């Protein structure tokens, strides 16, 4: 008997709805109708992270935004697009899904299946790793690990939740808009 591996695992409710939306006109229309929500979530996440940075860490993120703001606009566009797509593929589709799948399998083995515990485990582990990956962006500031895990971790939780509830494309779009808000919008005025 051969077993086929489906990625992301179907029972967890994780997926890529844009691919599904390509199948029918109704699904495509529903996906695009909901897209404005992902745009707003991206903007709100960027502004919330900036506000928390100001409150908790004396606004040191502005230093990073200024540094990127000094780059040519086209370079910033490439950075925003590249980081949104690659980070969501790595941290949500790969890491969060893998952790969720492993936890779901472990829980099923002990007779306590729970997809929500599994998915939240994946989201939280991926969010911490996402935060740690951003430490080098501002490694010379006070408490760089705490800052990166807190601020980028919060963004990672929001993006992970979006991935779980709305799909990978929603997380990519929100991430893209959050980065664009910071590095194309706000950076242009600093």
Q: Is the pTM of this model over 0.95?
A: no
- Nearest alpha carbon to residue 168 among 84, 100, 112: 84
Q: What φ, ψ does residue 141 adopt, rounded to 5°?
A: -100, 160
Indicate the domain borders of the chain: 10-189
Q: What are phi and psi of 7, to 5 degrees?
A: -125, 125
pLDDT < 50 regions, the chain? 1
Q: What is the pLDDT of residues 27-72, one digit of tens each?
A: 777 778 888 999 999 999 999 999 999 999 999 999 889 998 999 9
pLDDT of 1 reads 47
**Which pLDDT does position 34 carry in this prediction?**
85
CA atoms of 141 and 63, how far apart (whole Å): 10
Q: Are 13 and 100 contacting, i.e. CB atoms less than 8 angstroms apart?
A: no
Nearest to 174 by CA among 64, 60, 45, 63: 45
In this predicted structure, what is the pLDDT of residue 138?
86
User: What is residue 63's predicted lDDT score, i.e. its pLDDT?
Assistant: 87
The pLDDT value given to residue 9: 64
- H/E stretch holding 187 reads none
């Amino acid at each position: 008997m051969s077993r086929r591996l489906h990625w992301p695992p179907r029972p967890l409710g994780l997926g890529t709805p844009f691919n599904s939306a390509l199948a029918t006109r109704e699904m495509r229309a529903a996906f695009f109708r909901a897209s404005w929500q992902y745009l707003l979530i991206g903007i709100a996440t960027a502004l919330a992270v900036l506000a928390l940075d100001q409150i908790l860490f004396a606004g040191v993120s502005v230093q990073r935004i200024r540094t990127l703001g000094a780059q040519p606009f086209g370079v910033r566009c490439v950075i925003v697009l590249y980081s949104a797509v690659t980070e969501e593929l790595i941290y949500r589709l790969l890491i969060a899904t893998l952790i969720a799948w492993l936890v779901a399998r472990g829980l099923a083995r002990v007779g306590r299946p729970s997809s929500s515990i599994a998915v939240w485990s994946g989201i939280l582990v991926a969010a911490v790793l996402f935060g740690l990956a951003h430490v080098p962006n501002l490694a010379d500031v006070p408490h760089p690990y705490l800052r990166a895990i807190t601020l980028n971790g919060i963004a990672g939780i929001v993006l992970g939740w979006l991935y779980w509830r709305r799909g990978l494309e929603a997380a990519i779009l929100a991430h893209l808009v959050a980065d664009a808000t910071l590095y194309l919008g706000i950076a242009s005025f600093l």
